[in-house]
Structures are given as C-alpha cells and as structure tokens.
C-alpha cells in the first residue's frame, strides 16, 4: 500500500463560506445582522471544520439564524433548542453545537431546558439574543423587559420583574458566562471565540437592538456621550474601573459593592476590586451579575466567570468506554440469554 498523506485543505475558508444561499429576512437595521456577521467572521478561524458545526435554534426572530449559516442547521420548535441541541451533542460529541435563541425562547417557554442544560454542563455554545421584547409576535413584553414597560400586551405597564439570565446561569454553576452587545463587533467576536474554545456550556447574553418594537433599549451602552459612564468592561486580573477618564471604580466592602470616585484622592486604583474570571467561588460573579438592577452601577460586559468541569456528553462517552472495558462489547446472544433460562427439547 502506498503511503498516502492526508489531503490538506488548501482553500482557506472565509466569512463568505459560512453564508448560506438564503436571503436574510430580518428587518433592516436589526441587531441580528451584526451578530450574524461577527459569527461568520470568527467561524473560519476557530479550528473547527465547517462540516462539524451544527446550529440549532427554537422560535423567534433570532431562531432564523441557522438558515443563514452555511453549516448543518436545525430550526426547532419554540423553547426547545437547547434540548434538541443536547440530543445532537450527546449523539455525536465530535460536533461543535451552537444554539441561537432569544429572550422569549430561552427564558420563557424554554426556561426549564435553559436551567438544566447549564446545570449539566452540556458542551453547547449558547448565544442569547436579548432584545427585551417579543419581536416575531409583534411587540409583547418579554421575560427580560423592565417592570413598568408599556407594550401591546401591557398597556398599563408590565407588572413582571425581569429575569436576570446571568444570575440564573451562575446559580446553576454554569461554566462559561459572558455578556456582549451587537454594536461592539470586536468585543462580540472576542466573546464568541472564547465560547468556542470553552469545554462545556458557554453562555453569552448579547444585548441586541430591536429597532421595530424596542428601539434604543441599549443606547446607554452604545452612545459615545454616555457609554463610558454606563458600562464596565470586565477583564481578568484587571481592576474594575470605568468612566470617560477611567476615574471610577468598584470597591467591594464585604458583600457590598460600591462605586467610588478615583479622582478625589480618597480611593486609588489599588483599592478597586480586581476581576477574577476563574474564581471557583461564584459569589463575586453573582454580585457583578446584579449590577443591572442597581441604581448608579455600570452594566458589566465580558466574562463573568469561566470554570472547568467535566461535560455531560463527555461523561456519557466515558461511562460507555469504561463499561465496555469491564464487560466487553455487548453481545446480543449473551444479552438475550442473561438471567434464568430453560430449554424445551
């Protein structure tokens, strides 16, 4: 036999190779376009062969995502994307399985699957398109809409408290929890790249503008004039400082965070809380996750927490291999004859 060397892929894939032939049908100006573009941009360089990508989604605007990626794709039913994706991943752990889901799909009808997928550390990459509104059903409030929000279904204002998806994932000890935003392509790409490399459930909440039903929901985090005072970029090993002149910082007083002015002289950057993404204790990340509900606090972007744990799909595989080692590969005749048998001549 000749010593064949394996065929080397010479054609370097580009973002275009990840765009399907289907016309993208989101509303012009929708934040989803940016998310799609960033995903197509990072995909060629993740070190994953194109045929190993599987995109799974549920129902909603975000869930049309798989149709636009030229990979394997499965557009499921409302709320069930994570469950379908779990089946794909357990069946073939060799695949890189991604989920596109929205605040209604993931947190309302799919809330149960969301909690349990994170809890199991199923090796899935989950992009939550959070626009804080129901788009495809034309403008009802969603589980992440702020209390008091007036929508088609809440003419007197919503009386629901909003869901905090980051806090929930930390609560079930999810292994990769991050937040990004449609209007910051570089940051979003960086988060996608890190999620791709993570082993286990990688969850990114992406703030995404719905310019039809909830336009401007995230202006505070995107507009040059106010952005710097309203967001804080979390980076591992770096102090949590923010503000136009990096003149504000977060100081932790026991369990209580506070925003301090670094220009007055009372506090210096040495007093500021240094972010540790890899802290096994979820307490600090959980405190960060609640900044969204705290008056005067900046909204954190970046990785809240990343830890290492074995994955459900990996453990399934290991159990099978381990048991085969002990018992030998299954033999049907032996299986049928197990237990008490008798023979009739």
Q: Enumerate binding residues for other proteins (CB under 8 A).
A: 20, 22, 49-57, 59, 66-67, 70-77, 80, 83-92, 94-95, 112-113, 115-116, 316, 319-320, 323-324, 326-333, 335-337, 339-345
Tell me how far, at minimum, the Cβ of 134 lies from other proteins, in Å: 18
Q: Which residue is it, tokens 């199991």?
A: 120
CA–CA gap between residue 154 and residue 60 (Å, rounded): 20
Tell me how far, at minimum, the Cβ of 111 lies from other proteins, in Å: 10
List, in order, residues 6 or more apart from 45 with CB less than 8 Å away. 193
CA–CA gap between residue 83 and residue 80 (Å, rounded): 5
Please identify, using beta-carbon distances, which residue of 112 and 246 lies nearer to other proteins: 112
Please identify, using beta-carbon distances, which residue of 89 and 179 lies nearer to other proteins: 89
Q: Give the three-class secondary structure for 85.
A: helix
Tell me how far, at minimum, the Cβ of 3 lies from other proteins, in Å: 23
Tell me how far, at minimum, the Cβ of 197 lies from other proteins, in Å: 20
Please identify, using beta-carbon distances, which residue of 41 and 317 lies nearer to other proteins: 317
Please identify, using beta-carbon distances, which residue of 295 and 345 lies nearer to other proteins: 345
CA–CA gap between residue 93 and residue 208 (Å, rounded): 30
Terminal-residue alpha carbon distance, the chain = 53
* Positive or negative: CA dihedral 236, 226, 102, 29: negative
User: H or E segment at 229?
Assistant: helix 224-230
Tell me how far, at minimum, the Cβ of 342 lies from other proteins, in Å: 5
Tell me how far, at minimum, the Cβ of 318 lies from other proteins, in Å: 10
Closest C-alpha to 62, from 260, 204, 196: 204
Please identify, using beta-carbon distances, which residue of 50 and 309 lies nearer to other proteins: 50
Please identify, using beta-carbon distances, which residue of 277 and 313 lies nearer to other proteins: 313
List, in order, residues 6 or more apart from 124 with CB less than 8 Å away. 82, 85, 86, 89, 97, 98, 99, 117, 201, 202
Tell me how far, at minimum, the Cβ of 168 lies from other proteins, in Å: 14
Tokens of 49: 């062969």
Please identify, using beta-carbon distances, which residue of 255 and 342 lies nearer to other proteins: 342
Beta strand 231-234 with 299-306 is: parallel
User: H or E segment at 55?
Assistant: strand 53-57
């Amino acid at each position: 036999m000749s010593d064949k060397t394996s065929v080397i892929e010479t054609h370097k894939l580009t973002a275009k190779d990840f765009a399907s032939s289907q016309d993208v049908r989101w509303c012009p100006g929708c934040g989803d376009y940016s998310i799609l573009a960033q995903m197509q941009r990072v995909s060629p360089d993740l070190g994953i062969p194109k045929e190993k990508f599987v995109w799974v989604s549920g129902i909603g605007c975000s869930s049309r995502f798989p149709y636009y990626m030229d990979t394997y794709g499965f557009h499921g039913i409302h709320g069930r994307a994570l469950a379908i994706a779990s089946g794909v991943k357990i069946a073939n752990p060799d695949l890189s399985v991604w989920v596109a889901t929205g605040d209604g799909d993931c947190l309302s009808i799919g809330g149960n699957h969301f909690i349990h997928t994170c809890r199991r550390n199923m090796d899935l990459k989950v992009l939550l398109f959070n626009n804080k509104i129901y788009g495809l059903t034309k403008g009802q409030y969603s589980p992440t809409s702020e209390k008091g929000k007036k929508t088609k279904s809440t003419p007197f204002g919503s009386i629901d408290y909003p869901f905090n998806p980051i806090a929930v994932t930390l609560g079930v000890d999810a292994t990769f929890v991050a937040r990004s935003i449609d209007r910051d392509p570089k940051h979003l790409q960086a988060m996608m790249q890190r999620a791709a490399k993570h082993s286990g459930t990688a969850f990114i909440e992406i703030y995404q503008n719905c310019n039809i039903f909830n336009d401007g929901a995230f202006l505070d985090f995107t507009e040059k004039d106010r952005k710097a005072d309203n967001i804080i970029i979390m980076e591992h090993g770096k102090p949590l400082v923010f503000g136009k002149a990096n003149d504000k910082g977060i100081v932790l007083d026991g369990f209580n965070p506070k925003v301090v002015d670094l220009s007055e002289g009372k506090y210096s950057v040495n007093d500021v809380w240094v972010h540790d993404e890899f802290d096994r204790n979820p307490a600090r990340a959980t405190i960060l996750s609640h900044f969204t509900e705290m008056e005067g606090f900046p909204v954190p972007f970046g990785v809240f927490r990343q830890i290492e744990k074995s994955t459900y799909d990996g453990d399934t595989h290991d159990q099978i291999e381990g048991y085969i080692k002990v018992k030998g590969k299954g033999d049907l005749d032996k299986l049928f004859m197990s237990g008490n048998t008798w023979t009739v001549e």
